[in-house]
Amino acid sequence: MNRQIEGGGVTEAQWAASSWLQTLPRASATALFGDAQRLVVVSPHPDDEVLACGGLMALAHQSGLRVMVVSVTDGEACYPDQPAWSPERLRTARAAELDDALHCLGLSGAERISWHIGDGEVTANEAWIAAQLGAVLQRDDLVLAPWRFDGHPDHEAVARACLQACNECGADLKEYPVWGWHWLDPQAAPTAWASATRVALDDALLDRKRDAIQQFVTQTGAVEGLDCDPILPAAVLQRFERNYEVLIG
């Protein structure tokens, strides 16, 4: 697989035309959560968790599960050539955006951990992250982590660390794609994501998730002083504004 994150990527129209995606097995929230006592969502950068599984996080809270959000980096390196948006400013801004997004999802009281690993430096800290997760995770957790072949080095390193920690403690693990939607050929998805399922989001929850996504203004470009294309243009956001979310595993 050529895991390159560049250009416009696969369009939402191409994914919408995928008969595999449209007939993907459905999993209820009850079946997904099973006997888990806590949902732990591990995110490489603030926004990945809300984009890929914000609806599931809200459903977990509604189901009575405790929710923990782990931010591995602060996402401060997304605009290296933008003087108005220095790493220092982005650290503060992206943390505040995540606060606002979680509030939209009814998750203001969720437990939060931030490790402040350098954005783009996750691979070098993979063993440390796995060890920290080992100290945090419990056997009755359901852990959501990035897809291990997502195409972004930070995502893939977090995925490997989560896999190691879950194997050691016995916690259940599911993976969520973020950039996989960008580069994966929909015709290859039935093989790459053979164990995938989809969880439906009702209209009210989808509206809340869309509101949550819009809180990431530095990523959508809804800020002054950004003299480049945003990380999350409309064509990318479409992948995360569907009335369902996809998990692998």
Q: Where are the domains of the chain?
A: 12-248
The CATH number of the domain covering residues in 12-248: 3.40.50.10320
The pLDDT tens digits of the residues spanning 75-87 come to 999 999 999 999 9
The pLDDT tens digits of the residues spanning 137-164 come to 999 999 999 999 999 999 999 999 999 9
pLDDT for the residue 1:
63
CA 33 to the chain's CA centroid: 18
The pLDDT tens digits of the residues spanning 112-128 come to 999 999 999 999 999 99
- The percent of residues in the chain predicted with pLDDT above 90, rounded, is 97
The pLDDT tens digits of the residues spanning 1-32 come to 668 788 889 999 999 999 999 999 999 999 99
Under 8 Å between Cβ of 110 and 53: no
Cα-only R_g, the chain? 17
pLDDT for the residue 167:
98
Under 8 Å between Cβ of 63 and 55: no
Q: How many whole angstroms separate alpha carbon 171 and alpha carbon 141?
A: 5
Residue whose pair of structure tokens reads 């509206």 in the numeric block: 207
The pLDDT tens digits of the residues spanning 28-82 come to 999 999 999 999 999 999 999 999 999 999 999 999 999 999 999 999 999 999 9
